[in-house]
Amino acid sequence: MSETRTLLTDTADRLFTDLAAHPDAPFAEVWPSIAEAGFESLLLGEDEGGFGGDWGDLFAVARLAGSHALAAPVGEAAVAAWALTRAGLTPAEGLATIAPAVDGCVENGRFTGSLKATPWGGAAQTVVATHAGSLLRLQTTDCRIESGHSPVGEPRDTLTFEGAVAEAAPSDIDLLACGAFLRTAQIAGALDAALAASIAYANERVQFGKPISKFQTVQQTLAIFAIEAAAVNSAGQAAARAADAGVADFEFAAAKLRANIAAGQGAALAHQVHGAIGFTQEHPLHRLTRRLAGWRSEFGSDRFWAQRLGRRVAGLGPDGLWPELARRSDAA
Amino acid sequence: MQTFDAHPFDPPDGVPTLRREVRDFIAREAPKSDAASRANCWAVCDADFSKAMGKAGYIGMTWPVEYGGHARHPLHRYVVLEELLAAGAPVGMHWIADRQSGPLLLRYGTEEQRRTHLPSIAAGETYVCIGMSEPGAGSDLASIRTQGVRDGDGWRISGQKVWTTNAHNAQLMIALVRTVEGSQRNEGLTQFLIPLDTPGVTVRPIIDLVGGHDFNEVFLDDVHVPDSARVGPEGNGWKQVTAELSLERSGPERYLSSYAALVELIRFAGPDPEPVLAVLIGRLTAELWTLRQMSQSTAAKLAAGEDPALEAAIVKDLGNSFEQELPRAIQAALDGAEDLSAATDLTRVLALLLQVSPSFSLRGGTREILRGIIARGLGLR
């Protein structure tokens, strides 16, 4: 790991650990400390006032956010700032987030339509969206906000605009895929954290006169869990590497799909090992597992990415998949 | 904790050229075959193809030139292997010698053993089998009973090995033998290089459930070998066999054994697949892509001189599960018109894999043993 990444992850780990100690703190008190640390400008160049980080750095930070069950759009804000800069649009004012889905149209520089399930959409001032080959920059002062929530209670708001001023620029940035990458990183972190908690619990919980970790059946369950967590961590890091080398649409799709599969299985195994205590409000496990439940559907479900990837692979033909896999990794 | 810290797979330059060379070689030298014979191809033996590979410099790629090797980078070797496996080339004859026996002799063998055997292994002419399992020693390898007793300048070896892949084709066996009578478990074990034409060696076939002949029983009846047949120090056998395991467990053969069925599924589904098949192709691709990253990362760690035993166990278990699930998932997604009696490439490769894939999580360490290793790595044992 590079020195700058170590510095970055040390900072993130410290800050997210502090914030995790107060999981019920209001967002208005949480966000300023994250903004102050500069994570929003993670992907911006140093000449743009940013950290000069790459997708590997973003993976590392979003992964830590996931492992601490952080209730804040750290990754969304970083991607929003990056997308606005790349597309040459006005930088964000205050908190910026990204919309996973756009339903509407732009006419004469004005947007009419809705952005569904936008993470912290109501708290953000600026929302960035991908629409018909363009990137849109919208202000939430111009919209109606309908509150929605993920299973764990994070805001997933629907924002409805009517003839709102929209800055737009042609762009090939796919914010759905970028969001999928963020959720992959968070799932990777949350699975590792839930695994660590499950191992610790299995080592301390005594039944039949010994820690339950000494039973082979529990050991095998935790081994399966570790394999799933390893798969997502590997997929996410490989996707980041591909993004740092060039276009990573294939890798973002494959990594989110693999993460979705592991999220479901990992959460179930964590609860199985924890027994009834993990099912209580008091025990912190649910902060991870309820997020995992939501993240699987966000920025592309299993079916969505499987279908998109499957059509693409089918289009390559029977002898086309392997050369494409090889070509993509050789270019990285 | 981070369960898998990816190690970048950064081979030296020239990978695209190398891939082109290997693909041209396969197109030229591999026998034209149907999909079913491209499945599980590292168990398919073809001496002519192995000799052609030897001539082309694709066996013993990383070994020193003085022993017939080609002094190539280990990750270039990895690229060659994955190309061969993805194409379904019949690499079974020399696979074990190239993967395990050669590296073992390089690390622990005498100069004489290296000079005698490595050049002909690299030429694709000498094949080796691994004498580890015994009737009473499968997953519990440390309970082996085959006994070696000092006899003048040499040894007399008696006992029985079983599930010995390719013993009917190989000229040599590297056998794990108990050389200290009454020694416990993994103590007192020594490896020997035994030519299979030595008097007292009997090889008998074990036919598998589809009628195939990969396995054998090997009987050792008072087999006399000189001390120069010993590989490594006396009593060092356990350490030597466990050192081979990371090499054995994380290679591309641990997730590509069923790749031929995915190729046939893509052919069957066509360029504009119905949704259920598109979803299946997408999911299998995501899993394949992920496993390739994991296997490559582990190969890169090995190449950097680390021993990623835990990662290797993870790759093998996940890879074997994928190889086994792939034909089942495809079978489940086909409609009733395509039952397994249909004489198509897809159904033939499915039928074969559905029958032989149970062995994938047995060979090279069972699923239960691997998960035990992973559990130990997690601090549970």
The answer to ipTM > 0.95 is: yes
pLDDT in tens, B13-53: 999 999 999 999 999 999 998 999 999 999 999 999 999 99
Tell me whether residues B378 and A222 touch, CB distance under 8 A.
Answer: yes
Amino acid at B57: G
Q: For domain B15-126, which CATH number applies: 1.20.1560.10, 3.90.1300.10, 3.40.30.160, 1.10.540.10? A: 1.10.540.10
- 8 Å CB contact between B178 and B102: no
CATH code for the structural domain at A175-331:
1.20.140.10
B 24-83: CB under 8 A from A: 82-83
Name B177's bridge partners. B190
Would you state the structure tokens that stand for residue B202, as one six-digit string?
Answer: 């009997």
Q: Which residues of B are catalytic?
A: 248
pLDDT in tens, B256-311: 999 999 999 999 999 999 999 999 999 999 999 999 999 999 999 999 999 898 99
CATH superfamily of B130-238: Butyryl-CoA Dehydrogenase, subunit A, domain 2 (2.40.110.10)
- On chain B, the residues whose CB falls within 8 A of the CB of A191 are 3
CA distances from B83 to B34, B41, B256, B352 (A): 18, 12, 10, 22
- On chain B, the residues whose CB falls within 8 A of the CB of A308 are 282
Nearest to B290 among A199, A226, A258 (CB): A258
Number of residues assigned to chain A: 332
* Chain A touched by B17 (CB under 8 Å): no
C-alpha distance from B76 to closest chain A C-alpha (Å): 12
- On chain A, the residues whose CB falls within 8 A of the CB of B15 are 330
Tell me whether residues A257 and B283 touch, CB distance under 8 A.
Answer: yes
pLDDT in tens, A272-309: 999 999 999 999 999 999 999 999 999 999 999 999 99
Tell me whether residues A234 and B4 touch, CB distance under 8 A.
Answer: yes
- On chain B, the residues whose CB falls within 8 A of the CB of A322 are 86-87, 259
Concatenated DSSP letters for B359-373?
GGGTTTS-HHHHHHH
Same fold yes or no, B15-126 and B250-377: no
Beta strand segments in B165-256, E: 172-178, 189-195, 201-207, 213-226, 230-231
Domain boundaries, chain A: 3-170, 175-331
Q: For domain B250-377, which CATH number applies: 3.40.50.1860, 1.10.20.140, 2.60.40.420, 1.20.140.10? A: 1.20.140.10
Tell me whether residues B283 and A261 touch, CB distance under 8 A.
Answer: yes
Q: Which residues of chain A have pLDDT under 70?
A: 1
Architecture of domain A3-170 in this structure = Beta Barrel (2.40)
pLDDT in tens, B218-271: 999 999 999 999 999 999 999 999 887 777 888 999 999 999 999 999 999 999
pLDDT in tens, B322-368: 999 999 999 999 987 678 988 899 999 999 999 999 999 999 899 99
pLDDT in tens, B171-188: 999 999 999 999 999 999
Relative orientation angle of helices A216-245 and A175-204, to the nearest 10 degrees: 150
* Chain A touched by B279 (CB under 8 Å): yes
Q: Which of A322, A325, A327 to mutate to test the interface with B (most CBs of B within 10 A)?
A: A322
- On chain B, the residues whose CB falls within 8 A of the CB of A240 are none
pLDDT at A3: 85
Strands ordered across the beta sheet of A134-139: A96-98, A126-131, A134-139, A167-170
Q: What are phi and psi of A235, to 5 degrees?
A: -60, -45
Domain boundaries, chain B: 15-126, 130-238, 250-377
Amino acid at B103: P
